[in-house]
Structure 1
Amino acid sequence: MAHFGTGHTGMVVLRQLLQRDDLELVGHLVHSPDKVGKDSGVLAGGDPVGVTATDDFGAFCALDADCVTYLATDFGRPIDEVIDQMCLLLAAGKNIVTTTFVRLVYAPSLDPETLEKLQSACTTGQSSFFGTGVSPGFTVDALPTYCASLCAAPGQVRVAERILQGTYEDPLSFAALGFGRVPDGDLTNIPADHWAPHFAGTMAMLADGFGWQLDEVLGYQDLALADRDYESAAGSIRQGTVGSVRLRFEGWVDGEPRLLLSWIYTMPDDLRDGWAPPLPRESAARRFTHITIDADPEIAVTVELTGGELPGVTATASRAVNAIPAVCRAAPTVHTALDLVITPA
């Protein structure tokens, strides 16, 4: 195993890799100069493991490693740079499991040229590629598709997710969602053009998983304002500024909205925005996912992630690490959650 990335999720992945008896870390690539030359175990907050972090991509690419967990961020980097780097690793014979660049959770949704680059690199290196995550990557796309195997004639699919972000410390997420700003227009049905590319893979995975052809995808954004002042590690939210954001997407099939997905990002934990799913007062969960499939029989599933400040991050990391054995066994090509079965061991 070799690992790339020491951001929040990347560090959780690194710790999990070091805890697994069936995996051996042989290399670690970092960007920050202050991490170069340090032992990976120490960087992860534990004892030395004898692996020294490097910023030499060429040396990293030349390592004798079966798989690379690619957790380097795509923020502030051209996507072509990310893809080209992944292709070099794949062509060098290294399988890749990644949570970087959310469109990669369903690579068939990429433009044909980019998909062909990944597939060609897999062929050259006889390697496999798998993009994953918690949402997108599992709860809102793969899981509903798996659940639908229990029913006949599925009609409409509705997935609503709420993510409590009061414990988040990342100012990038805070700024990207617009928390703490004063709205300069309407609060509902705002076109979500900026966000649509981030969830295109999810919509495509669901449509393909259900055997549907998408006519179009419509996206909207809704805002809820804070009723008082709030402080968080990521930033300040004053009364009357944005405290909760809902993204909604409709996938139309044969003239009907068959896929209805929504994500609610709430910074103050106690802000009541009136959107579904509601915030259960008695629950300690930090993420809630409600899945409903109109079919025979009708299916309703609720997923709650509890434990720690950021269970969604831990779930993302776990999904990636648990995928490693399956990816290493898989045929050399680009895989998705629709064809690769991931188990805990």
Structure 2
Amino acid sequence: MKNILQIGFGPLGVQIGKYIAQKKTVKTLAVVDIAPSLKGKLLSELDEDLPTDVTIFSSVKEAVEDLKVKPDVAIITTVSSLQKLIPQVEEVAKYGIPVISTCEELSYPWKLQPELSKRLDDICKTHNIACLGTGVNPGFLMDYLPSVFSSISKDIEHITVERIQNASPRRIPFQQKIGAGLSIENFRKKEATGTLRHVGLQESVYLLASSIGITLDEVTESLEPVIADTEVASEAIQVKKGEARGVEQIAHGYKNGVCKIKMHFKAAIDEPRSYDKVTIKGTPNFSSEIDGGINGDIATCAITINCINSILKAPAGLQTMRSITVPGFIN
């Protein structure tokens, strides 16, 4: 039995908690969340599908000192920012607990944030723990999966990765993050603050490039609103004609002036067709498409849990999906 300390109990943390409760070989020992309204509550008070014997604490120190058993792994589902995540990882690392996080910037931070990456790597090695950033995207669909596909290539000229998704069934924070329901003016204002976008697209480009042995000279990224032609809605958000119903981002990775990797991400309310597609131009040429796409919320929760055995086998330091052993389903 692998014992888990969950840190962060928003919609994603709650869903992971529910999935763990259905497992035979994994158990949540305690939850940490800074929300004052959650302190001291049992998980079952929040949802009947959650355990009746697990308490929410306001700090890692309180949780670990209260537990009779040391957690095997901490799962952190709190922030997208690497800078904000590092103090949280350091707090856990002091107790010698390995970390898996859904922080998007953690998925492959070496190129974009080298100083922070080294700082986190040093923290992990000092306390002899491994730390991994994962999720469905970044962490799987647009980087790890095409990396696996590349293993059957004799040579590669170019890789295109597309993730087009209808955001209507996604959790509310995701719909808000892609700007659904905002006027174009407000969309641009939020874009300027860096709070409106799919986080991790460039990290995915660099992870894939590293996997196929390419050192890129330049990575560019564009971001545009997907504008509603008619009024559309999800269960939580109403979008008027002319407002943003989502976001479209395109990244290109260049080597010697030639585009070697293109990534196309689009998520919007009422998007007519969802799919995930990898196209490799090389020997052989081929495309692989997942019709209907992968539900991001389900897959992110699942892969986070299914990486537990891999992180426990990993050496100390900052790891990526490329450096750990291949994860698989945990019962």
Could you say if the C-alpha distance between residues 228 and 57 of structure 1 is closer, same or farther in structure 2, counting changes exceeding 3 Å?
same
Q: Confirm or deny: 8 A CA contact 1:168 1:234 kept in the other structure.
A: no
Report how far residue 110 of structure 1 moved.
4.8
Q: Confirm or deny: 8 A CA contact 2:159 2:261 kept in the other structure.
A: yes
Does 2:260 align with 1:254? no
**Aligned equivalent of 1:284:** none
Could you say if the C-alpha distance between residues 54 and 343 of structure 1 is closer, same or farther in structure 2, counting changes exceeding 3 Å?
same
**Aligned counterparts, 1:257-268, within 5 A:** 257-268=259-270
The ranges of structure 1 where at least 4 consecutive aligned residues each deviate by more than 6 angstroms after the TM superposition are none
**Aligned counterparts, 1:133-172, within 5 A:** 133-168=135-170, 170=172, 172=173
Percent identity reads 21
Does 2:123 align with 1:121? yes
Could you say if the C-alpha distance between residues 298 and 41 of structure 1 is closer, same or farther in structure 2, counting changes exceeding 3 Å?
farther
More deviation, 89-98/48-57: 48-57
d(CA) in 1 for partners of 2:34, 2:5: 15
**Aligned equivalent of 1:276:** none
Does 2:317 align with 1:330? no
Match of residue 299, structure 2, among 291, 315, 318 = 315
Q: Confirm or deny: 8 A CA contact 1:229 1:239 kept in the other structure.
A: yes
What letter matches 2:148 in structure 1? Y
Does 2:19 align with 1:35? no
Match of residue 75, structure 2, among 69, 73, 76 = 69
**Aligned equivalent of 1:273:** none
Q: Confirm or deny: 8 A CA contact 2:307 2:328 kept in the other structure.
A: yes
Report how far residue 43 of structure 1 moved.
3.0
d(CA) in 1 for partners of 2:122, 2:102: 20
Q: Confirm or deny: 8 A CA contact 2:11 2:171 kept in the other structure.
A: no
Could you say if the C-alpha distance between residues 325 and 43 of structure 1 is closer, same or farther in structure 2, counting changes exceeding 3 Å?
farther
Q: Confirm or deny: 8 A CA contact 1:305 1:312 kept in the other structure.
A: no
Could you say if the C-alpha distance between residues 177 and 25 of structure 1 is closer, same or farther in structure 2, counting changes exceeding 3 Å?
closer
d(CA) in 2 for partners of 1:147, 1:59: 45
More deviation, 231-240/291-300: 231-240
Could you say if the C-alpha distance between residues 178 and 71 of structure 1 is closer, same or farther in structure 2, counting changes exceeding 3 Å?
closer
d(CA) in 2 for partners of 1:259, 1:110: 17
What letter matches 2:181 in structure 1? G
What letter matches 1:177 in structure 2? I
Q: Deviations over 1:269-314 (max 9, x none)?
A: 44xxxxxxxx2xxxxxxx421100011111211124679xxx3101
Could you say if the C-alpha distance between residues 35 and 182 of structure 1 is closer, same or farther in structure 2, counting changes exceeding 3 Å?
closer
Report how far residue 25 of structure 1 moved.
2.3
Q: Confirm or deny: 8 A CA contact 2:167 2:271 kept in the other structure.
A: yes
Report how far residue 161 of structure 1 moved.
0.9
d(CA) in 2 for partners of 1:14, 1:71: 11
Does 2:18 align with 1:12? no
Could you say if the C-alpha distance between residues 183 and 52 of structure 1 is closer, same or farther in structure 2, counting changes exceeding 3 Å?
closer
**Aligned equivalent of 1:275:** none
d(CA) in 2 for partners of 1:244, 1:59: 40
**Aligned equivalent of 2:281:** 294
Could you say if the C-alpha distance between residues 105 and 44 of structure 1 is closer, same or farther in structure 2, counting changes exceeding 3 Å?
farther
Does 2:167 align with 1:180? no
Could you say if the C-alpha distance between residues 47 and 142 of structure 1 is closer, same or farther in structure 2, counting changes exceeding 3 Å?
closer
Q: Confirm or deny: 8 A CA contact 2:144 2:321 kept in the other structure.
A: yes
Q: Confirm or deny: 8 A CA contact 2:177 2:198 kept in the other structure.
A: no
Does 2:331 align with 1:343? no
d(CA) in 2 for partners of 1:303, 1:26: 36
Could you say if the C-alpha distance between residues 327 and 261 of structure 1 is closer, same or farther in structure 2, counting changes exceeding 3 Å?
same
Q: TM-score scaled to structure 1, two decimals?
A: 0.83
d(CA) in 2 for partners of 1:103, 1:94: 21
RMSD of Structure 2 on Structure 1 (CA): 2.8
Could you say if the C-alpha distance between residues 312 and 175 of structure 1 is closer, same or farther in structure 2, counting changes exceeding 3 Å?
closer
Could you say if the C-alpha distance between residues 47 and 141 of structure 1 is closer, same or farther in structure 2, counting changes exceeding 3 Å?
closer
More deviation, 196-205/142-151: 196-205
Report how far residue 61 of structure 1 moved.
4.8
Report how far residue 56 of structure 1 moved.
2.6
Report how far residue 21 of structure 1 moved.
1.6
d(CA) in 2 for partners of 1:213, 1:80: 25
Q: Confirm or deny: 8 A CA contact 2:233 2:269 kept in the other structure.
A: no
Q: Deviations over 1:23-54 (max 9, x none)?
A: 23222112222222222244343264422111
Report how far residue 169 of structure 1 moved.
5.1
Q: Confirm or deny: 8 A CA contact 1:159 1:262 kept in the other structure.
A: yes
